[in-house]
Amino acid sequence: MAGGGDGAFRHIFTKENPGRIDDYYKVNRKTMLGEGSYGQVVKGEDKNTGAVRAIKAIDIKKISDPKRFEDEIKIQQALDHPNIVKLFEVFKDAKRIYLVMELCSGGELFDRIVEEAEKHEGRAFSDSTGSLYMQQILGAMQYLHSHNFVHRDIKPENFLMQNRENTAAIKVIDFGLAKSWRAGDPPMTTKAGTPYYVAPQVLLSKGYDNKCDIWSCGVIAYILLCGYPPFYGDRDDDILKSVKLGKFDFPSPDWDDVSAGAKDLITQMLTMNPETRPTAEALLTHEWLANKAGEGGTIDSKLNIGARLRTFRGVAKLKKVALTLIAQQLKDEDIEELSKTFKTLDVNNDGTLTPKEVRDGMTRHSIDIPEDLEAVMKSVDSDGSGVIDYSEFIAATLTSKQYARQEVMWSAFRTFDLDGDGKITKEELAKVLQESPESDQIKKMISEVDEDGNGEIDFDEFCLMMQDKS
């Protein structure tokens, strides 16, 4: 939603840089994180902030469908969820396009499953770990589907672990086959997906909807618990025949110790008829997920969440925009407590908070509730979507210790300073927020921070605003 008189603004800040990537990042081209037909993924360190990112270098010659590739970037830019990998910046030179993304150091979920299956013959993860992972995976699916996107290539290789810990967050990656689709649109017909995980409807000629992702999640849930797929064969053709039949079982002794709840959830996801296959939203209420994964812990009263949310309401508009940008760019470990708090409040695990979830959560954890909570929530909902997105919550609850650091502020400033001349003009700000440079809102945002009255914001003025000294 583009900003207007209501003060709302869009949250897509992914910068498409005119400069060379080496001007901004120390790129380690020797240590590859991954390699594919498109190019390779390497590590890069932001020269200003020291933040380490994953950089996906794509050979332009290997992009067979530029429109499809552009759509992939647009979809990823629009996503704001704790279990979906973030895209920060895009660079382009004569030979390659570089996507600067969140670094996940724990490897693929696929490799984690293989490791666990080797340790326990006939079993991979326990019920409790499997449910914790499925809660995150289905939460990401619910978010995607509610925002009218379908992934279409859900498989363990397309989930990365945030770090090497057993409780690490799972992040969805690779939106190369993703598509915008909403209920009521014509069925999709492109044969997209990977043999073991593809839904039967994708292979048949009648078309399919977003429930294809749910089927793939069912296959992942099955593999998470036993280490092998429900549909298999010696060759791709054999696997696809098995998928089309849709028949599977829970063989003894491998499944003897798995709970009835887990088997029921898998059976529901692997329902042949997509019309009766449950949605991600419905599956997230399943008792196996609720009982095993728990409600995400407690909220530390020392965080003063209520006071932080109230303070955010009175913050200058440009500072709200800058804090939302910073919230998207900070490392997960820098905002660990706030991220845990968000997940604790997010009872239905859809990656957004309703005012009711916030009120109920604060009541449940004996946190003081601001009298004007409804008005506070409206202020925190800075894109006017009607719910509190992940970055909105983080932005509203950050402390100055987390954001008022020179390198963090410079990184944020650089996003608005499109031509790199050390000034933010109304034209640049308008372009980032997709508004008219002559709108009252843009003029007000500049004037609130422009100490010397020259119609521009330099870095010193920007820092004064961020430190509340203007």
Q: Which residue in 80, 153, 381, 417 is the catalytic one?
A: 153
Of 108, 88, 92, the residue nearest 100 (C-alpha): 88
Q: Which two tokens stand for residue 298?
A: 């407690």
By the 8 A CB rule, do 326 and 398 touch? yes
Q: Which two tokens stand for residue 318?
A: 């440009």
Q: Which two tokens stand for residue 192?
A: 């997209």
Q: Which two tokens stand for residue 414?
A: 């650089």
By the 8 A CB rule, do 352 and 346 touch? yes
Q: Which two tokens stand for residue 412?
A: 């944020």
Told to judge if 153 belongs to the known catalytic residues of this protein, a careful annotator would answer: yes
> What strands lie across the sheet with 52-59, from one edge to the other?
15-17, 87-92, 96-101, 52-59, 39-46, 25-36
* Residues taking part in catalysis: 153
